[in-house]
Amino acid sequence: MTSYHTRPGGTRQDVLTLIWGQELRYRLNDEAMVWLQARSLQHALLRRLRDALPRDTDMTVAEIQQQLTAATITLNQQQVQPVGDALAIATYHSQTQVPVLRWLLSDDAPVYDHLTTTHALCWVHDWRHYAKLAPLVPHHQAKLAAFEERYWTFYRDLLAY
């Protein structure tokens, strides 16, 4: 059994620091650019970041800030987190010093998204989706109740095993 705990900030970068086991490094590469484009950052900002930051080069926070300052780029509060996330995740996925996790089991908090190729829910959090079901037909209510009993019986059997 493995347990991950976030640091006081509880951000994606905090989680990544714990998974990686070291202070983060940041890198602009194709993966980072795809991530940033998916975050709907302004095209002008994406272009400026692409022009200001060296490609495929690991950098510290201070080095990133130096590059941004030299290019007169100031990120607002809504931009700092996604840019840092994109560059940190890209670095983690491209490094070869430690194995990159492929699976992560969590409570489905958004901070865990995109850290690994597969993100699964723990039992309790998985059940939340079924608990939201509210069948109106008595037959369907009985089916859901029977499924819930089998679900938790299987869970208890796995714990016992």
pLDDT one-digit tens code per residue, 119-152: 887 777 788 889 999 999 999 999 999 999 999 9
Mean residue pLDDT of the chain comes to 90
Average confidence (pLDDT) over 1-21: 76
Give the lowest-confidence range in 5-9, 100-104, 116-120: 5-9
- Residue 11 CB neighbours (<10 A): 16
Q: Tens digit of pLDDT for each residue in 55-75?
A: 999 999 999 999 999 999 999
Does 4 score more than 60 pLDDT?
Answer: no
CA dist 82 to 41, 46, 75, 124, 135, Å? Answer: 9, 12, 10, 29, 39
The conformational region for residue 10 under phi > 0 = left, psi -120 to 50 = alpha, else beta, is left
How far is C-alpha 103 from the chain's CA centre?
A: 12
Does 159 score more than 80 pLDDT?
Answer: yes
Average confidence (pLDDT) over 92-118: 86
At residue 33, the pLDDT reads: 95
Q: Looking at this protein, which amino acid is placed at residue 12?
A: R
Average confidence (pLDDT) over 64-90: 95
